[in-house]
């Protein structure tokens, strides 16, 4: 049965993510893109509708198995939008959107079915996909290219843990400006250590502090620049654990918080309450207390959450390859990336 | 259709159908006017409609919803009128579109309820203000999804509509507590979030709602509780109040009150909640942040 | 050790029983012996005892000549503020030894001639000798200072360049001599100072006090205490204050007033040298400062007509009362007050380790209150683990998290309890670093924050940020990752002068994050600290 077989590609991706074979979300993005390329060029589909259904099943599978994973579903959602657009331009029909305007001007015949099979659809979608791949590969550099607009001389910048995007950003700025960076070590993963070592290699004056010193240092920090795992639909973040406290301290001292993020991290999902089990995931407590600690281990409970929810009012700016945006504009970016009907898949 | 008939039709709709909102009733009335209109030009039709609107505003129902609904409908008329040459064709198109429009509006509530009920979690405590049909439906739906939650409703003087809301909730089997309007601050630390309806959504992204909503919003912001607004998209209006005093008087007081008494001594019916205090708006266009409201309005009118 | 039995000084034997380290033994005896030089004790005996002291870990059997030579060197240096610890010390001193010895003899003769008045009538030759002596001393001091400069990490021991009597500072220089071979690597650490807190590096203690160091004028209890502070064996302001008071009691018991001096005045001077030594090991906590100030106040008020033993008893009593009232009883009172605020079903978040908090929680648990505790902890000291152990032993239900998870658990928390190092006059709470962050997150979730603090920790200082006054800990603690085999990428930070780990120890929490401060007097708002200080001041006068 071709339907069941064809899901093996996504299952492989899911299991790779679960086994932590990817160190960066960028790698996941590339893999997803490859998967989609395979699907579109070699998959068994005749009309746009069938293709969309194939993609939708995959999105659902990922969301079932990895509720926190956002990169892969986001890219697939974007492809759905691409498919719709290509279909519309090929069949010269306009889509019924969701806006007041559309509400008022729609006619009964406007409901699009996407079921016509068009000849050039496959190639046009593939073209679009290649464009998207190029965009993906260059987005890191594009973000880094904006570095000089945001960092001036003699600034003290605070960053948390390790983010490849932030690293590139700071290194790019360091080529022309002299500034200091304070790296928060980010226990229990201590990713900040690698980040600091790498920044120091590029001749940036780096100081490493423990998580506990953030509030103390914040009064002298000029900017906080961080990466994130996901950007939620309301402009909030799902970021590494501990970043909420950093953002609160920054708010207290009125320090701007800038979040560098690629477009595939923007997720159209609203989170009702961040205590919801699907929002956060807990990692092994061995990083917090080693198993060798002793017999009291069975008398205590240890929590080691991986993510943190940061509400949108604590974020000042989102920097993506298209430029900077305020958190209140995220809804617009989302509507450009994904189609309204695909928000909920 | 003359003024008296308009008024009669309008009031009949509201009396007969409990669930219909004032705005939808107004739009239906306008559709009636078009149907019965004997005018031959678009301009005349528009004048008739505007007269009808004035009549409706002079009833004692809240003006906010009537205003926004009618404005939207008028816009829709203008857009429709550009297409055809013959007036009777035009009228036919208008009626068709009108029916579609009304059908969509009827579906609007269902969409909102679907979105909002996801945010009501098991074990949560909800605070709501006065009586809102959308909120009631959302709570009903969540209850049907077997979620256990508790609701606090303010009595909301002077018409005490909160009491009716409480009765309706209890009839569904949802645990409900009636609280004094002044007890909002006291109860705020126990609730998880606030859900209110809106009579109108203004251009800034803020809302116009039963008086007391502003106080609740300020308190919620201070205690860091999310403030959710459930509203249909036809309630969006082009108003931009700068403060409480800047709200037009026809919104704050009914027409009879305006004619008869000294406005300085009368309590207003509605107040304005600025967008800074609102977390999210649940509309049939989706979940919007307050800044997205203006986006929608710009797309429509410009 | 038998050689020393001829000593007429009975107290020295008693001290030997008290102290473990022989080197310190000898030092003290040398100290006392020096005091008695003017009384004309036999130097040979003193020589031998001193020799025992200096070569404590080395073989005791050395020839008489060697012993005498060493003794003279030491004498000379101790008078000029330099202490020699080993026989193989700086070669530069060798040629001038004979001269030194001669000068020493002459000086002693003079002193014996002058007698108790202390006045010295100098002949021409003696004046010349004295001048040469001074020159010699200065030359040696310069040499030592050079070593100090080369080997040191910015220690503000300017005193090293000038001859002083205080042996405490002298040991600083000696350590530099020992560190001679490491000069090259230590030079690069000069750049490893974070600009913001440069002023704090000066107060950083020396690393690893050498075992061969000899302390001339310091009571062994204080020496031990100093090294405990330095190695962070004793952590926490209550613990440090209690240890200080205990050492102080030892000092009172052991002190011998020299003739023509009053016990209290003498004690003051001795105490000064001891506390200076402690300051060098680790800057004083506010609680320690307050405790000492209280003691010194009572010291001045002691009736000088009493006998020495009565005075000593009185002073010990003062200390006991202080400990009992201001530390233990205060702890009980605070515990009672907080117990009322803890209700069944509470989830209490605490941060780090505080003896007072442990007492409160254990007492509340014994009363039968049912609550859970979440212990938040942070690097690099990881004091929370100790707190966790103590609470689990008391059978309290505990959860353990790192500081980054505070936002995650804060929703389920009902109260936050924090300890304090000190409470400042402008209402700020000075506490272990990370406390301000916990309070900040608690405020963001609207949870009440209670700070528990005895009134003896209140300070007149004012501070608004955490940089002006702080303590810098060992940066290597940060660069080492626990529980892993691989070294951290930071482990080579010393070689990279762009990379600096910063390990701050304290931070200040603004009063708007704190709901209430619980003291033994009352539950106060944070801003009432100056009121309490004022009342205490009135009570004490």
Q: What is the pLDDT of residue C146?
A: 58
State whether B168 and B275 are in the same domain.
yes
- 3-state secondary structure at position C233: coil
| Chain C residues with CB-CB distance to B223 below 8 A | 446
Q: What is the pLDDT of residue B86?
A: 75
Q: What is the pLDDT of residue C529?
A: 81
Q: What is the pLDDT of residue A258?
A: 95
Of all residues in chain B, the one with the smallest CA distance to A328 is: B291
Q: What is the pLDDT of residue C338?
A: 92
Domain boundary among B106, B127, B153: B106
| C-alpha distance from residue B218 to each of A323, B119, B275, C386 (Å) | 34, 21, 11, 44
State whether B289 and B219 are in the same domain.
yes
Cis before residue C380, ω within 30 degrees of 0? yes
Count CA atoms within 13 Å of residue C371 on its CB side.
30
State whether B179 and B240 are in the same domain.
yes
- 3-state secondary structure at position C432: strand
Domain boundary among B62, B84, B106: B106
The helix, strand and coil proportions of chain A, stated in percent and rounded to the nearest 5, come to 50, 15, 35
Nearest-Cα distance to chain A for C240, in Å, is: 23
- 3-state secondary structure at position A89: helix
CB spacing of C407 vs A219 below 8 angstroms: no
| Chain B residues with CB-CB distance to C445 below 8 A | 224
State whether B231 and B257 are in the same domain.
yes
CB spacing of A331 vs B279 below 8 angstroms: no
State whether B85 and B224 are in the same domain.
no
Indicate the pLDDT class of residue B104, thresholds 50, 70 and 90: confident
| C-alpha distance from residue C498 to each of A225, A226, A305 (Å) | 20, 21, 32
A129: left (phi over 0), alpha (psi -120 to 50) or beta: alpha
| Chain A residues with CB-CB distance to B72 below 8 A | 100, 104
Contact pairs from chain A to chain B, CB under 8 Å: 69
CATH number of C342-470+505-540: 3.40.50.10470
Q: What is the pLDDT of residue B144?
A: 92
Which runs of consecutive H residues, i.e. helices, occur in C428-528? 435-444, 475-479
Q: What is the pLDDT of residue B141?
A: 92
CB spacing of C489 vs A194 below 8 angstroms: yes
State whether B151 and B288 are in the same domain.
yes
Contact criterion met (CB below 8 Å) for C415 and C450: yes
Strands C429-432 and C506-509: antiparallel
Average pLDDT of the segment spanning A193-222: 91
Of all residues in chain C, the one with the smallest CA distance to B188 is: C446
All domains of chain A in start order, with CATH: 2-139 (1.20.120.420), 146-342 (3.40.50.10470)
| C-alpha distance from residue B167 to each of B101, B142, B157 (Å) | 33, 17, 16
Q: Cα separation of C222 and C209, whole Å?
A: 14
Q: What is the pLDDT of residue C53?
A: 43
Q: Does the pLDDT value for residue A114 go beyond 80? A: no
- Per-residue pLDDT tens over the stretch A329-345: 888 888 888 988 888 77
Nearest-Cα distance to chain B for C509, in Å, is: 21
Cα A32 to the chain's mean position, in Å?
13
Whether this model's pTM surpasses 0.95: no
Angle, vertex CA C492, rays to CA C490 and CA C498, nearest 5: 80
Q: What is the pLDDT of residue C298?
A: 86
CB spacing of C490 vs A206 below 8 angstroms: no
CB spacing of A209 vs C392 below 8 angstroms: no
Average pLDDT of the segment spanning A254-261: 95
Contact criterion met (CB below 8 Å) for C264 and C307: no
State whether B244 and B116 are in the same domain.
yes
CB spacing of A104 vs B280 below 8 angstroms: no
State whether B65 and B191 are in the same domain.
no
- Per-residue pLDDT tens over the stretch C150-188: 544 333 333 333 343 434 343 334 334 433 333 433 444
Nearest-Cα distance to chain C for A145, in Å, is: 24
Which of C442, C446, C448 should be substituted to probe chain B, the one whose Cβ sees the most B Cβ atoms within 10 Å? C446
- Strands across the sheet with C422-423, in order? C422-423, C429-432, C506-509
Both structure tokens of C284: 């004083």
Average pLDDT of the segment spanning B223-233: 91
Q: What is the pLDDT of residue B94?
A: 80
- 3-state secondary structure at position C326: helix
Average pLDDT of the segment spanning A248-271: 92
- In chain C, ranges of CATH 3.40.50.10470 domains: 342-470+505-540
| Chain C residues with CB-CB distance to A308 below 8 A | 404, 407-408
Q: What is the pLDDT of residue B142?
A: 92
Touching chains, B (3+ CB pairs < 8 A): A, C
| Chain A residues with CB-CB distance to C408 below 8 A | 241, 280, 303, 305, 308
Of all residues in chain C, the one with the smallest CA distance to B189 is: C446
Q: Does the pLDDT value for residue B12 go beyond 70? A: yes
Judge whether C512 is closer than 8 Å to chain B, CB to CB.
no
Q: What is the pLDDT of residue C8?
A: 45
Nearest-Cα distance to chain A for B181, in Å, is: 26
| Chain A residues with CB-CB distance to C478 below 8 A | 185, 208-210
State whether B281 and B151 are in the same domain.
yes
> Running DSSP on this structure, what letter comes out for residue C257?
P
Q: What top-level class would CATH report for the domain C218-341?
A: mainly alpha
Q: What is the pLDDT of residue C120?
A: 42
Judge whether B224 is closer than 8 Å to chain C, CB to CB.
yes
Strands C346-351 and C371-377: parallel
Indicate the pLDDT class of residue C491, thresholds 50, 70 and 90: confident
Of all residues in chain B, the one with the smallest CA distance to A341 is: B286
Average pLDDT of the segment spanning B201-210: 91
Indicate the pLDDT class of residue C409, thresholds 50, 70 and 90: very high
Residue ranges making up the domain that contains B164? 112-301
Q: What is the pLDDT of residue C46?
A: 42
For residues B192 and C181, the model is more confident at B192
| Chain C residues with CB-CB distance to A212 below 8 A | 378-379, 403, 432-434, 437, 507
Highest mean pLDDT among A13-27, A259-273, C287-301, C344-358: C344-358
State whether B238 and B214 are in the same domain.
yes
**Domains contained in chain B, number:** 2
Q: What is the pLDDT of residue C417?
A: 95
Residue C356's nearest CA partner among C255, C196, C266, C238 is C238
Q: What is the pLDDT of residue A95?
A: 63
Strands B227-230 and B200-201: unpaired
Indicate the pLDDT class of residue C123, thresholds 50, 70 and 90: low
Which of A181, A192, A213, A282 should be substituted to probe chain C, the one whose Cβ sees the most C Cβ atoms within 10 Å? A213
Kindly state the percentage of chain C with pLDDT values over 90.
21
Highest mean pLDDT among B277-281, C47-51, C250-254: B277-281
- In chain C, ranges of CATH 1.20.120 domains: 218-341
CB spacing of A197 vs C489 below 8 angstroms: yes
Strands C429-432 and C449-452: unpaired
| Chain B residues with CB-CB distance to A332 below 8 A | 292, 295
Nearest-Cα distance to chain B for A40, in Å, is: 30
Contact criterion met (CB below 8 Å) for C83 and C214: yes
Which runs of consecutive H residues, i.e. helices, occur in B82-152? 87-117, 133-144
**With the C-alpha atoms ordered C342, C348, C351, C355, is the resulting torsion angle positive or negative?**
positive
State whether B61 and B121 are in the same domain.
no
| Chain B residues with CB-CB distance to A330 below 8 A | 289
Q: What is the pLDDT of residue C159?
A: 36
CB spacing of C402 vs A219 below 8 angstroms: no
ipTM for the predicted complex: 0.89
For residues C140 and C418, the model is more confident at C418
| Chain C residues with CB-CB distance to B224 below 8 A | 444-446
Residue C456's nearest CA partner among C287, C236, C312 is C287
Q: At what angle do helices A48-65 and A71-91 cross, to 10 degrees?
A: 170
CB spacing of A213 vs C434 below 8 angstroms: yes
Q: Does the pLDDT value for residue C379 go beyond 70? A: yes
Q: Which of A97-111, B65-79, C40-54 has the lowest mean pLDDT?
A: C40-54
Average pLDDT of the segment spanning B26-39: 83
For residues B178 and B61, the model is more confident at B178
Cα C191 to the chain's mean position, in Å?
27
Q: Does the pLDDT value for residue C88 go beyond 60? A: no
Q: What is the pLDDT of residue C178?
A: 39
Q: Cα separation of A136 and A154, whole Å?
A: 32
State whether B56 and B171 are in the same domain.
no
Q: What is the pLDDT of residue C452?
A: 93
Of all residues in chain B, the one with the smallest CA distance to C445 is: B224
Q: What is the pLDDT of residue A134?
A: 92
Judge whether C306 is closer than 8 Å to chain B, CB to CB.
no
Both structure tokens of C4: 């020393």
- C496-528 burial, b at 16+ Cβ within 10 Å, e below that, comes to bebbbbbbbbbbbbbbebbbbbbbbbebbebeb
Judge whether B223 is closer than 8 Å to chain C, CB to CB.
yes
Indicate the pLDDT class of residue C500, thresholds 50, 70 and 90: confident
For residues C11 and C325, the model is more confident at C325
Q: What is the pLDDT of residue B13?
A: 86
Q: Write the residue in A100, A272, A276 that is nearest to B296 by C-beta.
A: A100
Touching chains, A (3+ CB pairs < 8 A): B, C
- Per-residue pLDDT tens over the stretch A96-106: 566 666 666 65
- 3-state secondary structure at position C293: helix
Indicate the pLDDT class of residue C1, thresholds 50, 70 and 90: very low
| Chain C residues with CB-CB distance to A293 below 8 A | 385
For residues C92 and A5, the model is more confident at A5
Q: Cβ contacts of residue C293 below 8 Å, gap of 6+? A: none
CB spacing of A328 vs B291 below 8 angstroms: yes
Of all residues in chain B, the one with the smallest CA distance to A331 is: B292
| Chain A residues with CB-CB distance to B99 below 8 A | none
Average pLDDT of the segment spanning C333-357: 92
Q: Cα separation of C32 and C258, whole Å?
A: 9
Average pLDDT of the segment spanning A60-86: 88
CB spacing of A296 vs C388 below 8 angstroms: yes
Domain boundary among B106, B138, B158: B106
Helix/strand/coil (H/E/C) assignment for every residue in A84-120: HHHHHHHHCCCCCCCCHHHHHHCCHHHCCCCCCCCCC
Q: Which of A296-305, B119-128, C38-47 has the lowest mean pLDDT?
A: C38-47
């Amino acid at each position: 049965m071709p339907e069941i077989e064809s899901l093996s590609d996504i299952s492989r991706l899911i299991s790779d993510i679960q086994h932590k074979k990817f160190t960066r979300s960028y790698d996941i993005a590339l893999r997803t893109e490859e998967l989609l390329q395979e699907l579109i060029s070699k998959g068994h589909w005749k009309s746009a509708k069938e293709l969309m259904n194939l993609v939708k099943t995959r999105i659902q599978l990922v969301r079932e198995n990895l509720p926190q994973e956002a990169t892969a579903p986001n890219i697939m959602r974007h492809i759905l939008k691409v498919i719709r657009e290509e279909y519309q331009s090929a069949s010269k029909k306009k889509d019924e959107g969701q806006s007041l305007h559309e509400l008022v001007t729609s006619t009964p015949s406007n409901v699009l079915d996407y079921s016509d099979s068009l000849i050039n659809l496959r190639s046009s979608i593939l073209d679009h996909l290649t464009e998207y791949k190029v965009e993906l590969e260059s987005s890191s550099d594009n973000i880094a290219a904006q570095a000089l607009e945001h960092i001036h001389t003699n600034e003290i910048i605070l960053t948390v843990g390790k983010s490849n995007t932030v690293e590139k950003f700071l290194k790019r700025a360091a080529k022309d400006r002299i500034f200091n960076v304070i790296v928060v070590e980010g226990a229990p993963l201590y990713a900040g250590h690698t980040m600091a070592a790498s920044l120091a290699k590029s001749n940036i004056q780096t100081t490493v502090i423990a998580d506990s010193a953030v509030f103390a240092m914040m009064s002298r920090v000029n900017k906080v620049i961080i990466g994130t795992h996901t950007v939620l639909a309301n402009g909030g973040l799902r970021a590494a654990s501990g970043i909420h406290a950093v953002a609160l301290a920054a708010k207290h001292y009125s320090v701007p918080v800038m979040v560098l993020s690629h477009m595939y991290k923007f997720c159209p999902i609203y989170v009702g309450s961040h205590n919801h089990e699907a929002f956060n995931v807990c990692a092994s407590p061995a990083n917090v207390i080693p198993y060798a600690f002793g017999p009291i281990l069975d008398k205590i409970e240890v929590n080691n959450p991986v993510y943190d929810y940061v509400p949108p009012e604590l974020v000042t700016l989102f920097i993506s390859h298209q430029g900077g945006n305020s958190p209140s504009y995220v809804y617009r970016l989302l509507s450009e990336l994904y189609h309204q009907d695909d928000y909920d898949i | 259709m003359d003024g008296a008939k308009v008024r009669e039709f309008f009031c009949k709709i509201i009396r007969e159908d409990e669930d219909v909102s004032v705005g939808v009733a107004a739009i239906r009335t306008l559709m009636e006017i078009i149907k019965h209109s004997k005018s031959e030009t678009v301009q005349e039709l528009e004048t008739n409609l505007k007269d009808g609107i004035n009549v409706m505003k002079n009833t004692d129902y809240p003006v906010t919803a009537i205003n926004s609904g009618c404005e939207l409908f008028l816009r829709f008329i203008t857009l429709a009128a550009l297409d055809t040459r013959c007036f009777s064709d035009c009228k036919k198109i208008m009626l068709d579109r009108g029916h579609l429009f009304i059908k969509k509006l009827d579906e609007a509530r269902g969409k909102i309820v679907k979105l909002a009920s996801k945010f009501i979690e098991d074990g949560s405590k909800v605070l709501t203000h006065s009586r809102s049909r959308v909120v009631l439906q959302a709570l009903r739906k969540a209850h049907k999804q077997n979620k256990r939650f508790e609701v606090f409703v303010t009595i909301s003087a002077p018409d005490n509509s909160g009491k009716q809301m409480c009765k309706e909730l209890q009839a569904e089997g949802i645990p409900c507590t009636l609280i004094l309007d002044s007890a909002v601050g006291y109860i705020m630390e126990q609730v998880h979030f606030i859900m209110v309806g809106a009579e109108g959504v203004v251009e800034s992204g803020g809302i116009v709602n039963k008086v007391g909503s502003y106080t609740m919003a300020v308190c919620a912001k201070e205690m860091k509780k999310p403030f959710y607004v459930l509203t249909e998209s036809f309630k969006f209006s082009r108003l931009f109040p700068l403060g409480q005093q800047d709200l037009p008087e026809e919104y704050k007081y009914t027409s009879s009150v305006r004619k008869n008494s000294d406005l300085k001594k009368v309590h207003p019916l509605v107040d304005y909640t600025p967008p800074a205090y609102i977390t999210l708006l649940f509309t049939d266009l989706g979940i919007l942040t307050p800044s997205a409201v203006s986006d929608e309005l710009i797309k429509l009118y410009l | 050790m038998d050689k020393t039995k001829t000593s007429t000084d009975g107290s020295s034997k008693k001290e030997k029983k008290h102290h473990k380290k022989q080197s310190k033994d000898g030092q003290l005896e040398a100290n006392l012996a020096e005091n008695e030089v003017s009384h004309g004790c036999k130097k040979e005996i003193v020589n031998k005892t001193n020799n025992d002291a200096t070569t404590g870990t080395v073989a005791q059997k050395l020839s008489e000549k060697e012993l005498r030579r060493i003794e003279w060197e030491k004498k000379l240096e101790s008078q000029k503020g330099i202490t020699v610890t080993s026989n193989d010390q700086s070669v530069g001193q060798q040629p001038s030894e004979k001269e030194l010895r001669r000068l020493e003899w002459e000086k002693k003769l003079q002193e014996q001639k002058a007698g108790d008045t202390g006045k010295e009538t100098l002949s021409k030759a003696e004046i010349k000798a004295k001048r040469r002596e001074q020159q010699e001393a200065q030359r040696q001091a310069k040499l030592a200072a050079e070593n100090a400069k080369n080997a040191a990490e910015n220690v503000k021991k300017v005193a090293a360049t000038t001859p002083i009597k205080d042996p405490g500072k002298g040991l600083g220089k000696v350590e530099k001599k020992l560190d001679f071979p490491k000069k090259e690597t230590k030079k690069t650490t000069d750049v490893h100072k974070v600009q913001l807190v440069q002023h704090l590096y000066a107060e950083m203690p020396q690393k690893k006090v050498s075992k061969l160091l000899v302390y001339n004028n310091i009571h062994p209890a204080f020496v031990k205490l100093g090294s405990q502070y330095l190695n962070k064996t004793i952590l926490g302001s209550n613990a440090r204050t209690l240890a200080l008071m205990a050492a102080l009691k030892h000092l009172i018991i052991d002190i011998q007033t020299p003739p023509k001096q009053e016990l209290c005045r003498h004690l003051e001077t001795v105490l000064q040298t001891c506390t200076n030594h402690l300051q060098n090991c680790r800057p004083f906590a506010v609680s320690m400062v307050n405790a000492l100030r209280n003691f010194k106040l009572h010291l001045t008020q002691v009736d000088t007509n009493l006998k020495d033993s009565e005075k000593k008893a009185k002073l010990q009593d003062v200390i006991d009362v202080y400990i009992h009232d201001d530390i233990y009883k205060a702890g009980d009172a605070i515990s009672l007050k907080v117990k009322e605020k803890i209700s069944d079903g509470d989830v209490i978040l605490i941060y780090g380790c505080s003896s007072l908090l442990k007492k409160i929680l254990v007492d509340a648990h014994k009363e039968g209150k049912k609550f859970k505790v979440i212990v938040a902890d942070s690097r690099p000291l990881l004091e929370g683990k100790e707190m966790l152990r103590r609470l689990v032993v008391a059978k309290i239900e505990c959860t353990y998290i790192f500081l980054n998870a505070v936002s995650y658990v804060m929703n389920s928390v009902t109260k936050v309890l924090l300890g304090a190092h000190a409470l400042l006059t402008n209402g700020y709470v000075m506490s272990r670093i990370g406390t301000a962050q916990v309070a900040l997150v608690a405020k963001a979730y609207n949870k009440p924050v209670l700070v528990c603090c005895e009134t003896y920790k209140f300070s007149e200082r004012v501070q608004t940020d955490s940089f002006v006054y702080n303590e810098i800990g060992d940066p290597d603690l940060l660069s080492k990752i626990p529980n892993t085999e691989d070294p951290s990428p930071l482990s080579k930070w010393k070689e990279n002068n762009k990379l600096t780990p910063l390990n701050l120890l304290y931070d200040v929490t603004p009063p708007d994050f704190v709901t209430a401060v619980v003291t033994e007097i009352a539950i106060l708002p944070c801003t009432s600290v100056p009121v309490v200080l004022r009342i205490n001041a009135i009570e004490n006068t």
